[in-house]
Chain A
């Protein structure tokens, strides 16, 4: 019985992130449009786009390989699994111990690996430019992420996200390392999701595009799956920040429906606020040149390293 309830809760979480991801995208787009004094598309527009896309036929380039056709599904699956393993409304779900934060980072790395590969499959110059730059960003963003993981793991004594969240719920105190980790994580999240100032999700047909350039040859259902994967990734990073830095309200292990309800409500509120802050940040600054991005990410890496170093040193006192 306990197992069945646990499985149901885990299943709800998997479906929740999947359903919520396009909504978050529509919400941020709408907010952004309002801030720019436009009316913007309806909040539900991403769902309509996805439905339209999956019904269309796929136009494949003549020399696209099997990797090009299967890549989107693998990218989607890796992102989905990673997003579903991050505690959203409750900690310690049935399979929360399957992968810790390091493994979740690596899962995101897997989806990026395949995205960069499919970008090179057709052999166009735009695909190559996207893959090459994405991997350059990742070569700094991923170590920065690892430094953040190390900082959290040293504080909480665990790399399991549920344990980290519970630790932060009970031992909440202001720490320098945590502040550094939060700033670093925000920078990494902006870079990983191709948001301004690193990349512009709304741009196309520009030499500056990175993320879009890799998906340029995709159409139809493949494009839909990739769009859904990037929406999931945005939700994943917001959930991660919420789970670690504002863990209050999450239902503890084995609690009843009321606690789950509160958890869900607080989760939605957190994501709403997070999305709002993201949009305000994005509208208030400009996009960087590509070779400014390494400096930006370098800041994240240094902050993460500093946070970790502080913890290593402070252990002895």
Chain B
């Protein structure tokens, strides 16, 4: 039943997309389209939740007479798909609610309204697909509709570049997935997932499959070095779409990875986790280091998505290592940590993108160097954004801390793994994870501090107005979810139990049985955490301190000019900026990672020319991998274009030469064969 409802929702979304084409230019179309999307997402969310909580372990499946004639379109709703449906539709519902208000400011609604429901439908379909053909078609549908949304503001120069890079990388990723399924299906071409699951691939095939899926799903998720498109494309889209792409679409990519590696490729070999762990550690650190140095609020958020994907993949890599070494209890902790972080990141990253969208609406600015002081003009947005920043910086008692804590607990279980390669890698990955967590705090102090605190750096920021109620409602719902999940994480872990059970054949101990709602991954003597009590202690001691001091000492307040060591400067330009905040970190880490160089051009005394500070950063991933490949393709295209304007005789002789060459090649092959 939930499967039928979910499929009907997809159909409804596609219908909404068609409606969007028809009415997008009329007034009030946004409210109708986003309202319909909100309703549909809520229905799908409810269906997925009933499947997840209902605990029917037998997944429902249907085959529709679409697609390949001998295959049909297979759809199935198992626990894994149900969990990711919850993530997708929760994000989609909030984004639609937000967009009812935010979408009013859209200059070209006809470029957004038809594609938005199509994008939602695509993501839902990927999760429901149960054969390679439907999976790939839905995947590509999701990619293309999101590409159309990235190109919504196509007159902005950077967006065109972003869209181009995104299109190339998305096609490349889909190509890798196509080859993956080709290998998994084998020579008899059994494309249904049930058939793939039944006959296990050989060890060599599985190795190639792992490599290809890391490229295919990893590029969509944003694993370093395949992440280059993500910080370009995610910020280019309208903010509610950015929220969906960062918060939700990367999770669909994670789903693709889990589905293929944990479900379809058979039992893992011990070394599978090695590339996953190495890539995920590098992803977490690189993503966060780049995020700290950004001055554009939405770009900063996009880079931090890369870091969070790294954290999720650390959990997945550990789960692979434990599963391969027959340590199901540890694998369950690692898998739970990864899935929990998927849920958490989808919530707080959407929240933060909503906040950046609100700032964009209010000020027209994404560049933090022109913002500041918004906490006075937009107090509600500032509050929710602060909650999001705390959650993503993994501060207790919010939700981000719980999943990071679980990931750390999983790392601490890994010395028991017998294989040496993993033993040596895991400590390094742990250090990288800790480093990225600390950098995340620095990054979000900067994001909140420069945007919302201090004095306004432009007139737009000084005159900003609080955003509409729809957007605020969406932000407040997600901010409360951050707190709620953070203080009572136990039920979430229990809900994840059947999903984890299906993947690693074990689940974490039932948390509902623990006293005082604390969470215990393995045993209480080993580790436990109680978000509720931490929250209660902090609240009680804050209130007690306030009450005692105000009652027995003083509550007098006087306003005066800022002290600033006696030399306050009225110009807001004397504040710390986004660039200057990040300067120490750039100096410590950037000189190695980004080859950061500072050049100071200080005119000699008497010269009235202004002094200049030039900072150069190099993106080594782009320079080493992408630029040469792009250059080679450009070079080849340049030279092959001579072939475009030949006479027909020359074309015919070319064809003839090729035929002769092929026949000759065939003959050689036959000779070698015999």
Contact = CB atoms under 8 A, between A and B. Distances in A.
A122 interface: yes
B498 to A, nearest CB: 27
B449 A150 contact: no
A142 interface: yes
B534 A107 contact: yes
B394 interface: yes
A23 interface: no
A281 to B, nearest CB: 24
A309 B525 CA distance: 23
B39 to A, nearest CB: 36
A1 interface: no
Interface stretch (B160-168, B359-367, B563-571): B563-571
A129 B576 contact: yes
A76 B454 CA distance: 22
A109 interface: yes
A43 interface: no
B576 A142 contact: no
B581 A110 contact: no
Interface stretch (B88-96, B223-231, B405-413): B405-413
A6 interface: no
Contacts of A65: 375-376, 453
Interface stretch (A27-35, A92-100, A194-202, A261-269): A92-100
B518 A55 contact: no
Contact of B441 (A112, A147, A154): A112
B448 A160 contact: no
A189 interface: no
Contact of A60 (B530, B560, B582, B587): B560
Contact of A57 (B530, B537, B557): B557
Interface in B401-435: 401, 405, 408-409, 411-412, 414-416, 418, 420, 423-424, 426-428, 430-431, 434-435
A159 B558 contact: no
Contacts of A54: 549, 553-554
B18 to A, nearest CB: 47
Contacts of B372: 123
A173 interface: no
Interface stretch (B214-222, B332-340, B539-547, B651-659): B539-547
A216 B434 contact: no
A98 B530 contact: yes
Interface residues of A, number: 86
**Interface size for chain B: under 10, 10 to 19, 20 to 34, or 35 or more residues?**
35 or more
Given A143-B435, A153-B412, A121 B561 contact: no
B426 A312 contact: yes
A128 B563 contact: no
Given A146-B430, A313-B424, A126 B538 contact: no
B435 A127 contact: no
A81 B434 contact: no
> Chain A CB within 10 Å — which of B386, B553, B580 has the most?
B553
A180 interface: no
Nearest to B524: A97
Interface in B489-547: 518, 524-530, 533-534, 537-539, 541-542, 545-546
Interface string B571-587: 01011100011111101
A113 interface: yes
B640 interface: no
A121 B431 contact: no
A54 B545 CA distance: 11
B58 interface: no
Given A124-B568, A140-B588, A113 B418 contact: no
Nearest to B586: A136
Nearest to B532: A98
A106 B438 contact: no
Contact of A139 (B424, B435, B576): B435
B17 to A, nearest CB: 42
Contacts of A62: 559-562
A97 B519 CA distance: 10
Contact of B575 (A124, A141, A221, A301): A124
Given A63-B562, A123-B572, A110 B395 contact: yes
Nearest to B457: A123
A73 B550 CA distance: 12
B587 A57 contact: no
Closest 10 CB pairs of A and B: A128-B576, A123-B454, A57-B556, A146-B434, A142-B438, A136-B584, A120-B449, A135-B442, A143-B434, A123-B455
14 contacts: A65-B375, A73-B546, A80-B541, A102-B405, A102-B529, A106-B405, A107-B396, A109-B438, A113-B395, A116-B449, A121-B454, A125-B576, A133-B584, A163-B525
Given A98-B528, A123-B373, A221-B553, 6 more contacts: A58-B558, A99-B529, A100-B527, A102-B408, A135-B581, A141-B438
Interface of B: 372-373, 375-376, 379, 386, 390, 393-396, 401, 405, 408-409, 411-412, 414-416, 418, 420, 423-424, 426-428, 430-431, 434-435, 437-439, 441-442, 444-446, 448-450, 453-455, 518, 524-530, 533-534, 537-539, 541-542, 545-546, 549, 553-554, 556-565, 568-569, 572, 574-576, 580-585, 587-589
